[in-house]
Amino acid sequence: MKPTIFIIAILLSSLQGYSQESPDIIPTPVKMEVNEGTFLIDARTTIQYDKKKKELGEVAEFLTRYIRDISGIELSHNAKDNKKIIFRESNDDTLLDEGYHLQVTPQSIIIEAANRKGIFYGIQSILQTLPAIRTNASLEIPAMEITDYPRFQWRGMMLDVSRHFYSPEAVKQYIDLLATYKFNTFHWHLVDDPGWRIEIKKYPKLTEVGAWRVDHLDKVWSERPPAQEGEEATYGGYYTQEQIKEIVAYAQKRNITIVPEIELPAHSVAALAAYPEYSCTEEPQLVNTGGIYPKGIQSAYCPGKDKTFDFLEDIFLEVLELFPSEYIHIGGDELDKSQWEKCDACQSRIKKENLENEDGLQSYMVKRIEKFLNAHGRKLIGWDEILEGGLAPGATVMSWRGEAGGIKAAQMGHDVVMTPGSPCYFDHYQAGPEGEPAAIGGMNTLKDVYEYEPIPKELNTEEAQYVLGAQANVWTEYIATLSHLEYMVLPRMLALSEVVWSPSKHRDWEDFNKRLRGWHFRAFDQKGYHYNKGNSKVVITPQSVDGKLLVELESEIVGAEIVYTLDGSRPQRDSQKYSKPVEIRESSTIKASTLLNGEVLGMVPASQSFEIHKAVGQNVDYKNPVSRYYMADGPNSLTDGVRGTFTVGKYWHGFHATDMIATIDLGTITDINRLSVGILQKRKDWIFPASSVTFEISTDGKTFSRMETVDLPIKRDNKENKILNYTTDKNTSKGRFIRVTAENFGVCPAGHPGEGKPTWLFVDEIVVE
C-alpha cells in the first residue's frame, strides 16, 4: 500500500469510529442520538418562523435575548442567511402538547412542536449545551436528533412566601430555574398565619396589617415567642397587583402556570388579625410567627357566618382576575376544629345543613368554595385534609402526608398531585445535618428524590391515570434568604425534573450524576448560585439476618469508596475499606466516611452505636401492621441493636390507632432475666407513650406466660419530649419466644390540636438480657 493511501485509510477508519459525547441534558430526553459535527451560532445565524404566529415570535425573542447575553451576538429574524434556526409547528401526535422534535446539523437547527410550549422546551435543551454566562467561547451545539415529551402533565415546585418574603426579582429567578428544567407549574403559597402577601383592593387591611409581623430574628423559628401587644410589626412585605401581573406574564412566557394558594379554613391568622369579624370569636388579635399562638387565638375562618363566604368570594374574585390558572389552591390543611366546637354559629350551621360533625362542616366549606370557583371556570385543589368529611365533587387532592390521601383520592376517581413529605419537602436536610444550614428536620437526599416514583404501587392502571404528576414544596420557616433558597432546591430540583419528565425506564443514578456534575454544576458556579455538591455522609443501615447483625454502608457520591472503623475512632484514608456488609458481634460504635480521590470527605463521619443483647439479629413478627411510612430500617429494626433518638422516623416503628403486638423468636430456649422496650413521646407530632406494656414468654410459641405488665412510667398529662423505657426483671425464666404488647395511648387529650383523634405509638428496640 502506498503511503498516501495508507494515511487516507487511517483517517477514514478514525472517522467511522467517531463517537460524540452526549450533552448533559437534564431532564434526560425520551430519545437522543448524537451525530458528528456541530452547529456554530455566529453573526450570520438567523431564526426563521411563521411571523403570523405571535407566540413563536415571543419564543424567538427569548432565544435572541439569551444568545445576546452570553455572546453579544444579535440573531436576526427571518433573514435569508444560510445558517438557520427554524421553528415549525407540527401535527405529530406523539409530541402531544409539550413535546418537541429537535434536529441539529452543521447547517441548521430545526425545532418542531405542536405549539410554543414544545418549541420552548427544545430551546431549553439547546441552551444546556452552551455557556451559562458570557465567556467569549464559541457557541457550538453538537449535531444531534432528539424526540422528547413529558411523562406527567403536572411538574411543579412550590414556594412559601408567607413565612419569609421574597422580592419579585427573586420570584422571577425561581421561575427561571423552573423553566430551565422543564417544570410547568409554580405553586405560590401567598398567604398563611405569618403573613398575607397579595394586595386585595377591596380589603386593604389584609396587607396594611396582615402583611407585617413582629419577628425575633435572634431566635430560630421554632423558638420565636408569640407577638405581644405594643411590639412593633416590622417584618414582612407583599406583592401589588401590578407586580403580580408582571410575574404572571413573565412565567407565561416560560411555560409556567402560577397556581395561587389562598389558605382556608385554617392558617388564617394574618387575615383574621386584619379582619377579626370573620373568626368565630371576632376578637382582635395579632399576626404571629406560624404555629406559635397565644391561648385563644383564632386561626380559622368561621363557616357558620354567611359574611365569611362573602369575604372569601370577594378575595377570590380579585385573585381570579390576576391568575388565569385552571386551578386555584385553597389549602385546607391542619385545621384545629375545637374553635368550631365552641362556636354557636358553627354549631347552628351543622344542624341547619344536617352535617354529622365538624369534619362535615369543613367539607361543607370546601364544597361551597368549589362551587363558587367552578361557576367562574376554575378548579379547586387542596391538601389531602380536604378528604375529611367528604371530598368536594371535582376537587383535586395534593397529597402531602405521605401518599395515603393521594391513593384514596385516585381510587375515588379524583385527580391527584403527589407531594409527600418524603422525599418532596425541600425544606428538609439533604445532607449532614452536620455542616449544613439549619433546616426544619428530616432528610431528603438527592438520591431519595431521584428514586421517587409518583405512581404508588397500590394503584391499578386505571387509577394511576388520576395521578397528574408530582411537586416539591419549599416551606421557608428556616429559609430567609435567596442564597439559602437556592441551596435548598439545587440540585434536588434537577432530580425531580427527571422524575416527572423522563420515562421511568431511563432513570440512571450514575448517568444523572455525570450530567449533573458536568454542565449543570459548572453553570451554577458561573452564575454564583449556592448549591449542595452532594451528600458525602455515609448511610449506615443495620440488618438483622438469620440471627446475625449485619451493617450496610452506602455513599451517594458516585465513584467513591467508604472507609470505616469499629473502635469509635475517626476514619482515615488508610482505614478499613468497605466491600461487603460488616458483621457486628459485640457492642461497638461504627464510624464511616466517604473517600474520593484519596480525600476523606465531610467534617463529621457517620456514626452508629450498637448494643448487643440476646435478641439482636432475630426476626420479629407483628400481629398489627407497622405503618408503611414509619418502618425504620425494616421489620427487624426492633432487634438491630440501635436505640432510638428524638429523630422521628429514622429508628422508630410507627403504629397509628392500634397496639403493637410483636413476637421475637430467639432461635433456642435461653435464660431471660430482663426485658425492656423503648417508646417515644413527642406530643406535638401526635406521638404518645404506651398506656402499658405487657411482656410474655413462651417455649413453644403457642402458650405464653405473662412476665409483667408495666404501666405508663410518667403522669398521663406529662407533655415533655421523652424516650421512655418500659422494663421488667420480675419472674425471670427460660424461654424461646418473647411477646411484647404495647397498648396505644388512645386519642389525643383535651386541649391538644388533635383532640379526640387517634394517636401514634412509636416503638424502638426490644432488649432481651
* Per-residue three-class SS string for 560-584: CEEEEECECCCCCCCCEECCCCEEC
At 491, is the secondary structure helix, strand, or coil? coil
- Beta-carbon neighbour count of residue 705 at 10 Å? 11
- Beta-carbon neighbour count of residue 728 at 10 Å? 18
**CA pair distance 25, 29, nearest whole angstrom:** 7
Beta-strand relationship, 257-264 and 620-622: unpaired
- Residue 21 is classified by DSSP as P
Does 334 qualify as catalytic in the annotation?
A: yes
Nearest to 241 by CA among 321, 309, 186: 321
Asked if 376 and 369 count as a contact pair (C-beta separation under 8 A), the reply is: no
List, in sequence order, every residue forming a beta bridge with 656; answer none if it has no partner: 760
Beta-strand relationship, 675-681 and 760-768: antiparallel
Asked if 114 and 95 count as a contact pair (C-beta separation under 8 A), the reply is: yes
- Residue 519 is classified by DSSP as I
**CA pair distance 326, 260, nearest whole angstrom:** 10
CA 769 to chain centre: 41
- Taken in order 158, 159, 161, 167, the sign of the CA dihedral is negative
* Per-residue three-class SS string for 681-745: EEHHHCECCCCEEEEEEECCCCCCEEEEEEECCCCCCCCCCEEEEEEECCCCEEEEEEEEEEECC
Nearest to 149 by CA among 185, 113, 178, 180: 113
List, in sequence order, every residue forming a beta bridge with 619; answer none if it has no partner: none
CA 222 to chain centre: 20
Q: Which of 334, 458, 561, 755 is catalytic?
A: 334
Asked if 657 and 730 count as a contact pair (C-beta separation under 8 A), the reply is: no
**CA pair distance 458, 419, nearest whole angstrom:** 16
**Catalytic residue list:** 334
